[in-house]
Structure 1
């Protein structure tokens, strides 16, 4: 049973004092990170922020309902209403950080219906979920703060929003360290460039992402790694982490000519092959070609990667090098010669298998979605913030595409759900059959 009380000026002063203290302390988010949300101190801190922010938001709702602010007699007279505040009553609701006691305002006419904490609600998940959803959609903390204040008339501090979004870090760490399958026929690797504050300055870093295709042709995002520079140490760490999480073998790794990756893959999984993405090779070769000649150059390069075997591919490359276009653009020829050792594995596969490893578009398209979502963010405060944001965005993209697949059903278009974890690779059955026949010793144990 709730207790009806009059609004005590001392309570308002206490709430305002708490808010002032929180807003005046820019290190509050850092303190939460150091304590960890599982500690009593951190929970008490977040509960205090939630209580102060929600109580302030409820009084803002009451101002909007009555048409005038507390103590503003002129505005009350202009509003032409006899309705006015009638104290508060306390309500205790659960939250992700424990029970929170809130003073909910009342009006004399009994017509006020709080939106932030609806009648009958027992838990403050709606606000938290909305904050996380907006954050995952690419909105910055300032944007969320403004949206909540203007659209919902809810005054939530910068520190509270940061604390709510930080609550997903535990789930991110579980996801990043979850157990994986023993064998993946194909793994795609690619990177997304982001700006991160590091040591008092903003630096460019790369967020590397791995997508694995299991034996059933289902795509899974295996992990995210953020690093300033790629190199042998980075890829040794990535491969070691994937191996420690259960991957004992990989048939082929498709990537964009990443430095030191082939050596790291082969030292971790000796029987694996590293394949350079064909689309990246075509783009790299056309980088040196004028726009008017790109169509002809691409047509000539197509003869190389559609050749039936390595001998035919070498002959097609030599023909291109000796042609007028090859003489005009020798750098395009050099791109293919330099990458030849990592291109030739592609030629060993039949047509259906070639389609699967032809390009890393599965991961590049996901990166393009992430770039749209990160466009509002000039920079990330640290690596943890970048990891948290990218993971939430991936979840949002996957949920949206899964819903689209479910809605369209069997009539789904060829592009629907292509990036979603759980989506299947087109033509996978034929491709896996061809790979298993061509390399029976590699697949026999897992079929």
Structure 2
């Protein structure tokens, strides 16, 4: 896309902000910015500034028309420039993110299928106007479904992946006139060059060895090879599937989840001290020091029976939680937890919350897939693309 440089009218911006309520400040700012952007686009199309005369001009400015445009902050009304021939088209609306389209589509499906609440209807009025037609839903579906499906099934044999993070979160979906709980399986891998790639998405039934195995088999069918390390929580079915599907790969148990499980067995008044000791243990500079700190922890609390359950969890989980020490030190802070994928889950939860119950499985897959697609685009376009800076 052609790069557009434009100058904002800050006096106009100031006037808009003064007239705005506090809740409308972001909307007012975006209106001024987007209007200025489109004006500059038309100037570049015309190849002449406004009021410059040229006998060989190919078109003429022809005022503006109003168009509603939906953003994360809500619906805004823009002044879209036009020309006499009608050949000028702004690229602004083509940049409208897939995740926002999918969000609106999911809400619209709820309204049309008659499964929405009064709150959902009110949100839809704010986002899309008073009415949502089936043709609108169909139009967005036709644009998004092939994109999301192609992305979710793309080949993975072009890259070598060093690490694989996996996790599942739960959503509610309407199925056969019932509301059921579905698991959303997500896989994020780190390539040998240290960059991130979201490689897997699946909406299926509750976590089990069988379902996790199907998820991994789908990755492998697309060309994914066993990584050096798989990072996850300690779900039994997941651990068994990792062991069977990725022979030779090590498993890193998320240290945050392990610490949480240990502290859950401590009396409330003693959790703060125990938490600090566990943090030092898994932040140790090497595995030898980490083992020494573990032994000190066990000795400190071994005398009283009330700590027995917590100490057993530590002893059983420690070795799996220190596998990251076998990897380059630069990677330790990144691979000892599932934080990178938990942040993705939080963003999904934020967008899923207003919907509450997805109208169908495909709607959930479309919205979450679109969000992941836009997240990956953000990774690829970031100034610091590498997640881990390995020595090359």
Alignment partner, residue 275 of structure 1:
252
1:315 Cα shift? 4.6
| 1:178-232 Cα deviation digits (max 9, x unpaired) | 0114531101111222111123211222211111000111100001112221112
Give, in whole Å, the separation in 1 of the partners of 2:320 and 2:148: 34
2:144 counterpart of 1:177: no
Alignment partner, residue 429 of structure 1:
390
How does 1:23-422 map onto structure 2 within 5 Å? 115=67, 120=86, 134-136=100-102, 140-141=107-108, 142=121, 143-149=123-129, 155-157=131-133, 159-167=134-142, 168-180=144-156, 181=158, 183-306=160-283, 313-324=290-301, 327=304, 328-349=306-327, 351-398=329-376, 405=382
1:236 Cα shift? 1.4
The answer to whether the Cα contact below 8 Å between 1:207 and 1:227 also exists between their aligned partners in 2 is: yes
1:389 Cα shift? 0.6
Give, in whole Å, the separation in 2 of the partners of 1:182 and 1:126: 33
Q: 1:325 to 1:137 in 2, by over 3 A?
A: farther
The unaligned stretches of length 5 or more in structure 2 are 1-62, 69-79, 109-120
Alpha-carbon RMSD: 3.6
- Aligned with 1:172: secondary structure? helix
Give, in whole Å, the separation in 1 of the partners of 2:67 and 2:307: 66
The answer to whether the Cα contact below 8 Å between 2:162 and 2:190 also exists between their aligned partners in 1 is: yes
Alignment partner, residue 64 of structure 1:
none
The answer to whether the Cα contact below 8 Å between 1:255 and 1:275 also exists between their aligned partners in 2 is: yes
1:294 Cα shift? 2.6
1:133 Cα shift? 5.8
Give, in whole Å, the separation in 2 of the partners of 1:229 and 1:123: 47
The answer to whether the Cα contact below 8 Å between 2:165 and 2:188 also exists between their aligned partners in 1 is: yes
More moved, 132-141 vs 289-298: 132-141
Q: 1:248 to 1:129 in 2, by over 3 A?
A: closer
Q: 1:129 to 1:384 in 2, by over 3 A?
A: farther
The answer to whether the Cα contact below 8 Å between 2:198 and 2:372 also exists between their aligned partners in 1 is: no
Give, in whole Å, the separation in 1 of the partners of 2:386 and 2:166: 18
- Aligned with 1:213: secondary structure? strand
Give, in whole Å, the separation in 2 of the partners of 1:125 and 1:348: 49
- TM-score norm. by structure 2 comes to 0.65
- Aligned with 1:323: secondary structure? helix
Give, in whole Å, the separation in 1 of the partners of 2:199 and 2:178: 30
The answer to whether the Cα contact below 8 Å between 1:137 and 1:396 also exists between their aligned partners in 2 is: no
The unaligned stretches of length 5 or more in structure 1 are 1-110, 407-416, 418-422, 434-447
Give, in whole Å, the separation in 2 of the partners of 1:121 and 1:178: 36
| 1:114-172 Cα deviation digits (max 9, x unpaired) | 7589772799998898695644457822434543326xxxx541x22321332211111
The answer to whether the Cα contact below 8 Å between 1:305 and 1:347 also exists between their aligned partners in 2 is: no
- Aligned with 2:235: secondary structure? coil
- TM-score norm. by structure 1 comes to 0.58
1:398 Cα shift? 5.0
1:260 Cα shift? 2.5
Give, in whole Å, the separation in 2 of the partners of 1:164 and 1:216: 39
- Whichever of the two has the greater Rg, that structure is 1
- Aligned with 2:228: secondary structure? strand
